[in-house]
Amino acid sequence: MFAVHLLAFHFTKLKEDQIKKVDRYLYHMRLSDDVLLDVMARFRAEMAKGLGRDTNSTATVKMLPSFVRSLPDGSEKGDFLAVDLGGSQFRALEVKVFNDGKQSSQLESKFYPTPKEVIQGSGTELFNYVADCLLDFMESKNLQHKKLPLGFTFSFPCKQTKLEEDIDVDVLAMVNDTVGTMMTCGYDDPRCEVGLIIGTGTNACYMEEMRHIDLVEGDEGRMCINTEWGAFGDDGALDDLRTEFDRELDLGSLNPGKQLFEKMISSLYLGELVRLILLKMTKEGLLFNGKVSTALLTKDKIEMKHVCAMEKYKEGLSNTKEILTELNLFPSEEDCIAVQHVCTIVSFRSANLCAAALAAILTRLRENKKVLRLRTTVGIDGGLYKTHPQYPKRLHKVVRRLVPNCDVRFLLSQSGSAKGAAMVTAVAYRLAAQRKQIDAVLAPFLLSLDTLREVKNKMRAELEYGLKRETQASATVKMLPTYVCGTPDGTESGKFLALDLGGTNFRVLLVKIRSGRRRSVQMYNKIFAIPLEIMQGTGEELFDHIVQCIADFLEYMGIKGARLPLGFTFSFPCRQASIDKGTLVGWTKGFKATDCEGEDVVDMLREAIRRRNEFDLDIVAVVNDTVGTMMTCGYEDPNCEIGLIAGTGSNVCYMEDMKNIEIVEGNEGKMCINTEWGGFGDNGCIDNIRTKYDKQVDEGSLNAGKQRYEKMTSGMYLGEIVRQILIDLTKQGLLFRGQISESLRKRGIFETKFLSQIESDRLALLQVRRILQQLGLDSTCEDSIIVKEVCGAVSRRAAQLCGAGLAAIVEKKRENRGVEHLQITVGVDGTLYKLHPHFSRVLQETVRELAPQCDVTFMLSEDGSGKGAALITAVAKRLHNIGRK
């Protein structure tokens, strides 16, 4: 028993001594974590160079766009052909993808040898041979009469310009084997966004953000990048890590100076690397008593299969002895231990370097997603990874050590890269079909110039109906006189109160206007909320609440005893008989207070003040916020004679010649007309451009059948139109995996501010996904692209329709003045115009297109509903005083 223990001790000591000897000899091949982190940083720098347009030409890691933009989502189905060309033989496959509740696939294939004369002949001969073999395969499966989509795995570096080529198939996807591996694994695991090959060659691909790929137009979504990382270090970046053995191997290769990283990693070279190390160690007398055999001198005599066999856990030493004996080296026990450790160091270095480059890719993915911790899957294929007994465990361990903030699953590709080519084709096929469906849904939102001209002409006709006595009652555009007969001239001065009621908040303001050379406007205001129960309660409750807010403000400012002139901004349709009399035509914007419609809102305010009996005010003017906007801008620019609101609601006012206003007495001068254009189309005149989504939004609103134009152009409704479209696309299986979430069912969830955020050019898709997640919508990258496209279609149509209506107004102003070319300023307010990234630009472009003889300046209003109300009150006071004189 003692003898057995002694023998074991002797063997362990012998093994340790041999390992130490080899470790000392191959010190430069043993890479510390610090070195690997440095390699990782170098590789990240090369990736950035490869992605840049100006630096790609000098990058060793070429970062080739694959034009594969989407991963499988489980909805793919159909029959697909695939061809896998990448070695001494190629494979033809038929892949059937099923999706009947549960995704599955069925694969049948046939291998064809590739004769040497074909491999080394012309390209035409090679592809003719491939086509003949494919036809043979199709005939054997009775597929020759079917036109099936074809995927082509071409396992060599390629610069692609697009995914489809012009041959007689529905869709042709040409993919690299690495991309094919990622797609194969992506079918089984949706988290798979990295492909890795570790075999005869080595390479990696991953899904990169489009905004980072300078070589491809567009910045929406993601695209798979084929790194072609085998050439990493070809510029000398790894020279400090390459050993004399690496240099000798490279010099003896078919492509000296190229693919240097691959030559340190892939199975094509590791056996030869081991041979060169053993040869030198033998010549130095460290192995085999210094006796070199002819076999050891022969290039490629040691292959990767030998290295794998020698590194096996239990039988490794006996395998080593057998292999070395076949090489006529007659090894001792010490030799076998040393040789086995040489193999371990060479293969371990391969796994370490591979792990460092992979860790760089994973870090980039994590940073692209802006997450503290990444959860992802790496799809892997390749003989070295599959057959080496220790390689996978070593690779996984090192990767997890280098990127501790990444939870990585390694998924072995079971069906090879050819199935991946079929999956790329299936995904492309799915996306093409989806594209047709999405285009069909959004087509009604794309308005031609002719359609917009038609809208402009119809708006012009409705403006005229509203101005005429005999047609005004039935006109949808009410053209309400405001009795504001002048714009500021700079002589206005004094203290004025302004009230602003137009939404869920109510403001009270004190405005001090100074005239003369140092003219200025100072404002003090306080905001009060209007609860929903007050908005939809009785009229008396609403006006009592307003007066309560005024009382609080007057006390806050210390002016409760002063009887100040007041302008009341009341942003709802009113029919005015004079500047201080306004009869409510009908509520909008969610208000439903009873006993108000048909009543004079100024009288209701005066009654509420009397009921409170605490203070008195001189109510001079009832003002629409649109008119206030025009007046605010008119104070700065005398050329401003149009006001536009593009926010929660939508409206326009303008200065009309009195002679054209039949519903008001007098022909001299001008008066501001509040168009209340939101009701345009209520008579059905624009039904041809209303979509089913517009009708759904209208039917679900508080005032069904009314304000149809406003419901297509204003912020209050655009988000709801988007929501209806998203529901429809989800029902068609084009969004959110076909699952309508509870949050998506909620009316009003999609506020207009989300449209503005989602359409922002500065916002990456990752941030769009976060917005959708806040709304309870769990979206993929592809979902985010579609949602952004839907938002864009809805908001663009709104801006164009608004522009068409405004073009009708400016054209009318031009004709009123009798000029060939009009110069005019439009004062604008509203969150949609101010905050949406594209609304203002599209609106202005539309006006230019439809009213080319009008030079329109757009001026942003500063507080039209507060400052504007005070200015109208001041102008009314000025004109009143002039009249008295």
Is 770 marked active-site?
no
Instruction: Decide: helix, strand or coil at residue 761.
Output: coil
Residue 608 sits at the vertex; the CA angle it makes with 604 and 612, to the nearest 5 degrees, is 170
Q: Which of 105, 347, 417, 571 is catalytic?
A: 571
| Euclidean distance between CA atoms 48 and 46, whole angstroms | 5
Dist. CA 579–CA 630, nearest whole Å: 16
Which entry of 275, 507, 690, 814 is annotated as an active-site residue?
507
CA nearest to 423, candidates 192, 720, 197: 192
CA distances from 867 to 524, 636, 864, 879 (A): 10, 12, 6, 18
Catalytic option among 84, 625, 698, 863: 625
| SS3 at position 527 | strand
User: Distance between CA atoms of 765 and 781, rounded to whole angstroms?
Assistant: 7
- Measure CA of the first residue to CA of the last residue in the chain; give whole Å: 131
| Residue 571 is a catalytic residue | yes
d(CA 477, CA 465): 8
Most distant CA pair in the chain, distance: 132
Beta-sheet pairing, 374-381 with 406-412: parallel
Write the DSSP symbol of residue 266: S
Nearest to 748 by CA among 709, 779, 702: 702
**For the CA atoms of 433, 437, 439, 440, what is the dihedral angle to 10 degrees?**
140
Name the residue among 659, 540, 558 with its Cα closest to residue 611.
Answer: 540
- Which runs of consecutive H residues, i.e. helices, occur in 226-369? 244-251, 262-265, 267-283, 294-297, 304-310, 316-326, 333-369
Q: Residues, the chain, total? A: 885
- Provide the token pair at 876: 């009314």
Per the annotation, the verdict on 625 as an active-site residue is yes
CB atoms within 10 A of CB 525: 16
Backbone φ and ψ of 481, nearest 5°: -65, 140
Query: For the residues of 69-129, what is the DSSP string, one character each?
Result: -----S---EEEEEEEESSSEEEEEEEEEEESSSEEEEEEEEEEE--HHHHTS-HHHHHHH
What is the distance between the alpha carbons of residues 660 and 24, in angstroms, rounded to a whole number? 102
Which residues are known to be catalytic? Answer: 507, 571, 625
